[in-house]
Amino acid sequence: MTAEPRLLARSLESCIIPFYDSLKRFLISDKSITDTIKSYAHIVCDVHRTSHNVQVLLDNGMPDLKVGLLLRRWPRAMSKQSGEFKKAVAYLKELGFNPSKSIFLIALVAKSSGKTTWQKKIDLFKKWGWSEEAIVSAFRRYPWCMLVSENKLMVVKDYFVTRLGWDPLVLARYPIVFSFSLEKTIIPRHSVLEVLQSRGLIKDAHLVSPFTIGEKAFLKKYVDCFKEEAPQLLKLYIGKRSLSQ
């Protein structure tokens, strides 16, 4: 109650209990419902707004399970002003996002992060030379990129562009790289690529695919298959990763 004292002004019979019961359709268990309310009690204070936003999602084809996931993991997004929320859903559908797919949830959370937060990242991308079309394309490919902090975006961009000399537009085509840890993934993998290139085992250390594949795939393709030519690669890779711990 101390986190959201306005709950005390809500009627138990006419507000809280009916809303609690309505959540059962999406959250199923009492524990999921109480956990959601505990994590973001504000959702109960704006019952009508939340209920309206839930209905918008249902009207646009979002399954109950996906609505439940949104309520459970990102309840803050559900308490946005109804008009803005409806516009966000319409905007995402125009971009081709399907409300029945999980990626729609990520895109919606990103778009609901607030006008200021959203615009700051748009402005940041434009400073890098990204066009409106490139920004929209990056968002379509990997909406998580709009949930990454501005600081993380800058750190990753500076490494690839300033240190490695990449064209910033490459990052627009592969925005997934912004989700990777610089210390645990990007630097260790590039260290391996540099050794391979220096020995003529690969032609270009500025490849994108080594950064976007899974851990097992990377080790198999760029470490294990070069054991004879460069036996120190695994030790180098592990050593670079251990520096981040």
pLDDT in tens, 52-70: 999 999 999 999 999 999 9
Output the pTM of the full model.
Answer: 0.85
User: What type of residue sits at position 93?
Assistant: K
User: What type of residue sits at position 59?
Assistant: D
Closest CA to 157 of 137, 138, 136, 140: 138
**H-type helices in the chain, by residue range?**
17-27, 30-39, 42-45, 47-59, 64-73, 82-94, 102-111, 115-127, 132-141, 150-157, 168-173, 187-198, 209-212, 215-222, 233-242
pLDDT in tens, 155-179: 999 999 999 999 999 999 999 999 9
Decide if 62 contacts 100 (C-beta within 8 A): yes
Decide if 117 contacts 88 (C-beta within 8 A): no
Q: How far apart are CA 72 and CA 50, in angstroms?
A: 13
Decide if 189 contacts 159 (C-beta within 8 A): no
Q: What is the pLDDT along the chain (245 residues), one digit of tens a residue?
A: 445 555 545 555 656 777 778 888 999 888 988 888 888 777 776 778 888 999 999 999 999 999 999 999 998 888 888 899 999 999 999 999 999 999 999 999 999 888 888 999 999 999 999 999 999 999 999 999 999 999 999 999 999 999 999 999 999 999 999 999 999 999 999 999 999 999 999 887 778 999 999 999 999 999 999 999 999 999 999 998 887 65
